[in-house]
């Protein structure tokens, strides 16, 4: 699958099959995240793969999307290391979660290409996630990503890209027209 096919066919996964993911597949997907570009090549991301049932159960309790976290065979938690991110975007807003978001997008597209479903959850309690995974000071969870083979109906997910704004609503040339 090429990258445009992965972008066009990506669906957030709303229901997982319990079938385990092979370690090779997980490595391929995590390497795609690791290869993402970042500001000054600081690579401020860290990824923790949670497969242990008890820890997954505790992680599920840290989010209102706990069902997805509990049922997926693995959950990848993406972190930002604060000391690696001294920059702002255009001098006005912290670039803090930006690099990690780029890496997470790489990860989700790589997972799609490997036939796996993912979702991206930001609705979590930071303190609880930190406590379950023994996260030190200065390191912050940015995304909790359940990953696995999608169930056949994928939880009734909408068709890919439904509801997206039209090109005219979001793309312009030469000056800002809206
Ligand atoms: C940065 C980001 C954060 C998200 N956080 C959550 C979340 O906390 N909980 C959730 O259920 N889905 C979350 N999602 C998934 C989005 O809700 C989903 O991708 C969006 O509704 C588009 O879905 P659609 O392609 O079916 O329209 C997140 C997606 C992104 C890109």
Report pLDDT digits (tens) over 30-61.
Answer: 999 999 999 889 999 999 999 999 999 999 99
Checking if the pLDDT of 96 tops 90, the result is no
With the most atoms of ligand 1 within 8 angstroms of its CB, the residue from 67, 99, 121 to mutate is 121
Give the span between the Cα atoms of 170 and 11, in whole angstroms.
21
CA of 128 to the centre of ligand 1 (A): 21
Minimal CA–CA distance to 43: which of 76, 75, 80?
Answer: 80
Percent of the chain with pLDDT over 90: 84
Q: Which domains does the chain have, with CATH numbers?
A: 3-152 (3.40.109.10)
Q: Whose CA is nearest to atom 5 of ligand 1?
A: 121
CA of 106 to the centre of ligand 1 (A): 16
Minimal CA–CA distance to 117: which of 80, 155, 79, 143?
Answer: 155
Radius of gyration of the chain (CA): 17
Taking the CA of residue 143 as reference, the ligand 1 atom at the shortest distance is 3
Taking the CA of residue 63 as reference, the ligand 1 atom at the shortest distance is 8
Confidence at residue 87, expressed as pLDDT on a 0 to 100 scale: 81
Give the span between the Cα atoms of 95 and 177, in whole angstroms.
26
Percent of the chain with pLDDT over 70: 100
């Amino acid at each position: 699958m090429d990258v445009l096919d992965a972008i066009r066919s990506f669906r957030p996964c709303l229901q997982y099959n319990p079938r385990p993911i092979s370690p090779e597949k997980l490595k391929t997907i995590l390497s795609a995240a690791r290869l993402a570009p970042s500001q000054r090549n600081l690579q401020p991301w860290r990824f923790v793969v949670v497969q242990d049932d008890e820890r997954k159960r505790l992680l599920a309790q840290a989010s209102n999307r706990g069902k997805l976290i509990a049922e997926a065979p693995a959950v990848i938690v993406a972190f930002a290391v604060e000391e690696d991110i001294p920059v702002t975007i255009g001098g006005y807003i912290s670039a803090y979660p930006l690099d990690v978001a780029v890496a997470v997008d790489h990860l989700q597209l790589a997972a799609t290409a490997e036939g796996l479903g993912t979702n991206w959850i930001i609705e979590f309690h930071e303190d609880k996630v930190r406590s379950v995974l023994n996260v030190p000071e200065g390191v912050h969870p940015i995304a909790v990503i359940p990953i696995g083979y999608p169930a056949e109906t994928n939880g009734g997910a909408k068709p890919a890209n439904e509801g997206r704004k039209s090109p005219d609503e979001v793309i312009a040339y030469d000056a800002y027209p809206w």
